[in-house]
Each structure stands twice: as structure tokens, then as C-alpha cells.
Amino acid sequence: MVLSHNLVHKVTNTIKKHSMLSGEEKILVGLSGGPDSVCLLHMLNKIKDDFRLSLYALYIDHCLRPDETGSEIEFCKNLCESLDIPFIIKSINVKSCVQELKINIQEAARQLRYKVFEETAYETNAHKIALGHTADDQAETVLMRLFRGSGTTGLSGIPPVRAGIIRPLIEIERTKIEQFLDEGKIDFIVDSSNLKKDYLRNKIRLSLIPMLKEFNPDIIETLSKTAELFRDEERFFTILVTKTMMKLISRKTDTRIELFLAPLEIMDKVIMRRVLRRAIDETTGLRGINFVHIEDIIEIIKNGKHGDRLYLPKGIRAIKGYSTLTFTSEPPVRLNTYTFEVPGEVILKEGKVVIKAFLGNDVDDYGDGKTMAVFDGEKTGTVLIIRPRENGDFFYPMGFGRRKKLQDYFVDEKVPRDERDSVPVVASGNDIVWIAGFRCDERFKVTKETKKVVKLEVKKIMD
């Protein structure tokens, strides 16, 4: 039983190397009946006295192979009885999840499976969840992510330890596991779905890996070590990014984060990518941005102008300001509608502005037409409406000479589309008088015949 002793020794070293166990813990073991999970259960059972462990086994029925599930459950139950390990069965509806979330069947199964592991660990007061991923799984994962264009984070593969999940077999090749089971005359079950080339992982396992072994017989070990090297680099970058982030964040909520722009503009792209990714991932409402978007964000940081923005998936926007880069998933502000009399003032809290109206007999200052403007009071009347834009809006821009759609005007003025609903439109009845902050309407201008003047001012309200 030399192989068995050596394998136990190697698994123990892996556990110690990655600080998987500290002793006197309850461990929930994922058990499918396959060779990897059966080996894992036997390994942990062999070392449980050394680490003072209490073991539980969990079988998850994915409701995908009804013809095989019964025999698998019976096998796992008998195995656990022989080892005096409590056995738990849970079911998940993978097909329902696929339809609901519009994801592929493998991803649906993975998400539901991990959720059930966490729930069962909580129910049993388990300290850790042990899964049977092997060095072969690690190599396959690295290749899958390489094909998908992952960076070093993805190529670091499956973490030996993540939160409460441990993988004691992650440095053990499947051939060693099969030899251990054969030597010990230990039975296991083969999942028929693992023999089909319907999924990328199976194609890599059954076709690509054997071919790669012709070039490098130790390809599994090579890829596993490559993943470990990337994980070491990731740990270094994680520390560096954390220190950098502490100096970058100006303000942060669950749906919005503002980063100081000056340090970003001179930052190396290697660090900037990671900083941006961290900032986005740690802001709940911003998740859903991929590598392509990160490169677009870097472009506006390096070469964009103040006010430039990117419209990203899930309603997320990246906005370059004078001194900050803002990411937000907050819905664009839309003004309410207000009616007020002249003279008077109205505070638009959602737009963070105040509009004041004065009434006079002559003009002392024509203003700039943007922040302050004057109009013929007899044409405007003394009751005005302040509202957001509406479909079909048009006006006659001062000095333009003809009618123009408000939508076209905003496009020409390069008003960002997520800000257009927050621009105050001052109207008299159904006619636009003033686009506050932008332009007056020619129809209401002051002339020699004007006897009553309405002066309007718009000012920002400080936060």
C-alpha cells in the first residue's frame, strides 16, 4: 500500500501548504460517486484523526440523469455507511435555472450546486466545504480560460482555497487517484455525461490533453504549476492594487464610485486595469463590465476630454470629469414638472438647480442667454412651467432663424443623453421659452415694443 501512503502524505502536504485545515472542524464533503470525490472522502477519512475532523457527505441530484441518479445515491449511501459518515441528499432544478437566467446548463448547474453547498454547510454547522477538484481539473480550466482570452487572473485557475471551500486533491493527478482506487479495490461510479464531447471541458479532457501529452508527457503538472505561478503573482498584485485603491477613491456608494483622475492618467496600464476592475467589482451596482470595456475606459482616461462618457452594459456609465472618473449605475435624473408665478423662484432639488424670475419695465442686463436671460413679459405671461423634455419638443433657437427639434439641438450641442432629462425646459403654455443653461427662444425675445420684461436666472445648488 505504498501508493496509498504516498498519496495521503501528498494530500496532507497540500492541506498544510495552503492552510486548508486548522483542526477540530466539521467538513462537508461533496460526493458524486465518481473517482475524484470517492478518493477525497477516503483521504479525509484517513487523516480525520490527525486533524480531529468530523465529516459529512453531500450528494446533489441535478435532476438531469434520472436513469442513473438512483444507483448513484445508493452507492454513495452505502459508501458513507461503511465509513460511518453521515450522508445528505439535496436536489436542484438545473433546467429551470437555465430558462430563468438564460445561461448554459453547465453554468446553471455550477451556480445552483455552490448555493446548495453553502446552505447545507450552514445547516450542518460545517466549517469548510471540501471538493474533489484535481490537478487535471486545474489544467483543463487553464486551457479553457486561455481559449477565452483570459488574463492572468483567469489563468491562475481554480483556487485551492476560496472562502470556506477547500480542494485537498488540487495537486494530485487523476492517474494517481485511479491507481489509488485500483490498489485499494475501491469502487466508484462513472458519470456518463463525462464521456460525451458535448461540453468544452470534456473535449479538452478527452481530445486535447491526450494530444498535448505527446509533446509534453507532464502537461498536467506543467499547467498546474503555471496556474500556481499566476496565483503567486495575483497575490502580489492584489496587495499593490489595495494600496493604490486607498489613494484613489474620492466617494463611493453601492451604485456609484468616484476615482481621482490625476493618478490614473499617469498610471501604467498593467496596474490601471486591475485598479479599475477592483473598483467596479467592489461596487455592487457596477458588476457586468468585461475586459473590452476596461480598455475603452482606459482610452477615455488617457485621451478623453472632460465630459466624455461611455455607456456600458446594464445601464452603467463611465464619466470623465475635471478631476474625477465616475462609474455609476444610478438611473439618469429626470426633472419633475413645476408651475410658478413671476416674480418668484423654484428649487429643482432633483436637478440641483434653482431658477429665479424677476419682473421689470426695462432691461438692465441682457445676460448670456444661458445662465441668465430676458424675455418679453407680455408674451411669456406671469405663469411659467418648468419641466423636462418631452417627445416632439421643438423651439426657435435665438439667432437661428427657424424651428429646431429639441432632440436635434441636444445632439448638436453634444449634451450627454443621460443628462438630457435633467435640463430644465421653461415653457409658457405649450411653447418653450428657454432651455435653461443653453438657449433662449426667438419668439419671446425683447424688442423695442416690449413694455414688461421677465428676467430668468438659473444657478447650481451646492451639495
| Each residue's pLDDT tens digit, 282-329 | 887 777 777 788 999 999 999 998 888 898 888 888 999 889 999 998
Please report, rounded to a whole number, the percentage of residues in the chain having pLDDT higher than 90: 69
Q: How far apart are CA 175 and CA 172, in angstroms?
A: 8
Report the pLDDT value the prediction gives residue 63, as an integer from 0 to 100: 82
**pLDDT at residue 181, as a whole number:** 93
| pLDDT value at residue 413 | 92
Which residue in 172, 289, 274, 276 sits closest to 233, CA to CA? 274
Residues 6 or more apart from 375 whose CB is under 8 A from it?
433, 434, 440, 444, 445, 446, 453, 454, 455, 456
| Pairing outcome for strands 128-130 and 165-166 | parallel
The better pLDDT of the pair 124, 401 is held by: 124
Cell 494530444 locates to 211
Q: Is 459 or 351 the better-scoring residue by pLDDT?
A: 459
Q: How confident is the model at residue 1 (pLDDT cuts 50, 70, 90)?
A: low
Q: Is residue 462's pLDDT more than 90?
A: no
The confidence score (pLDDT) of residue 196 equals 67
Statement: residue 193 has pLDDT above 70: no
**Cα–Cα distance, 426 to 444 (Å, whole number):** 12
Average pLDDT over residues 382-396: 95
C-alpha cell at 146: 486561455
- Residue 195: predicted pLDDT: 63
pLDDT (average), residues 60-85: 91
Supply the pLDDT for residue 453. 93
The average pLDDT across 34-43 equals 96
Q: What is the mean pLDDT of residues 179-193?
A: 87
Residue 124 pLDDT grade (very low, low, confident, very high; cuts 50, 70, 90): very high
Q: Is 198 a residue whose pLDDT tops 70?
A: no
3-state secondary structure of 458: strand
Does residue 421 surpass a pLDDT of 90?
A: yes
**Helix, strand, coil percentages for the chain (3-state, nearest 5):** 45, 20, 35
The pLDDT value given to residue 6 = 87
Average pLDDT across the chain, whole number: 91
Q: How confident is the model at residue 194 (pLDDT cuts 50, 70, 90)?
A: low
Domains of the chain: 2-229 (3.40.50.620), 253-328 (3.30.465.60), 338-460 (3.50.40.10)
Q: Which of 94-108, 136-150, 330-344 has the lowest mean pLDDT?
A: 94-108
Does the pLDDT of residue 42 top 90, yes or no? yes
Model pLDDT, residue 365: 78
Inter-axis angle of helices 269-281 and 291-303, to 10 degrees?
120
Q: What are phi and psi of 422, to 5 degrees?
A: -100, 0
Q: How would you classify residue 221: left for phi > 0, otherwise alpha for psi between -120 and 50, otherwise beta?
A: alpha
CA distance 128 to 122: 10
| pLDDT at 206 > cutoff 80 | yes
Omega before residue 343 within 30° of 0, cis? yes
The mean-pLDDT minimum among 39-48, 171-180, 361-370, 418-427 falls in: 361-370
Tell me: the pLDDT tens digits for 232-266?
Answer: 999 999 999 999 998 899 999 988 999 999 999 99
Structure confidence at residue 97 (pLDDT)? 78
DSSP string computed for 209-265: HHHHHHH-TTHHHHHHHHHHHHHHHHHHHHHHHHHHHHHHEEEE-SSEEEEEHHHHH
d(CA 161, CA 187): 28
